[in-house]
Amino acid sequence: MKMTLHRALAQRKTTKARITKEIETGVFIETTVGTSGKVKGTPIADVERNIRGSYDRILALIKNFYDLSTAINRANNGIADDTTNIHTVDFDGKQATLSSILAAQEALRYRKQLVEKLRSQLGDVQYDVTNSEMEVAERCDQFLASMGGGDKKKLSAAEIDTYSKNFHANNDRKLVDPLGLEKLIEELRERNEALDVECDSKISEINALTQIDVDLG
């Protein structure tokens, strides 16, 4: 897509704001209680679709930011499509110029923000589930006692097992985690760390190999 540098700068600014907003307001994991099949009144299938959509939108926006930054960097350095003798290095499995590596370094900042948001939300819901487990266990004991006329010891082992299973099935809080956050966070963290190191090393490599003319007085 052809556009002016002015438009590209404006679109990159808008894209940065959208990435930040999507990360700040995005919901990437939820919980459901019992067998309702819903999260706060919304069917689980719809919630999972919204979670995946939010995550995919952020990745697409980060890619757009990278593409815009690469094009802007190239333009600012006077590099056109027909420019020759541009030094490239192997970066992330492909040949890349300094312009694209610097753009990747900028985009990496948002990838790291996303990981922190995912980690924060995972920790919050895990805390909620743990607290809920303790609360449900207490309520289950009270329920068993009521079924035993005030003393659950009056119930048989089979009755306790049946009543307990039914109670937990209807009251336990469970994760709605279509992204598999625990594994995803680790994969993204490792990917970001590798890109961080590669960005630094390739920029140093290009700087070491590039010669410039300077007229010093």
Percent helix / strand / coil, the chain, rounded to 5: 70, 10, 20
Per-residue model confidence (pLDDT) at position 165: 92
Residue 141 in contact with residue 152, Cβ under 8 Å?
A: yes
Name the band, by pLDDT with cuts 50, 70 and 90, for residue 82: low
| CA 121 to centroid of chain Cα atoms | 10
The least confident of 7-16, 76-85, 87-96, 203-212 is 76-85
Residue 26 in contact with residue 52, Cβ under 8 Å?
A: no
Condensed to tens digits (0 to 9), the pLDDT of residues 44-68 reads 999 999 999 999 999 999 999 999 9
The least confident of 13-27, 46-60, 77-91, 182-196 is 77-91
| CA 11 to centroid of chain Cα atoms | 23
Per-residue model confidence (pLDDT) at position 86: 67
Q: What are phi and psi of 54, to 5 degrees?
A: -65, -45
Select the more confidently predicted residue: 54 or 141: 54
What whole-number percentage of the chain has pLDDT above 70?
A: 95
pLDDT at 175 over 90: yes
Between CA 191 and CA 20 the distance in angstroms is: 20
Helix (H) and strand (E) counts in the chain: 5, 6
Between CA 37 and CA 44 the distance in angstroms is: 6
Compute the mean pLDDT over every residue in the chain, rounded to the nearest whole number: 90
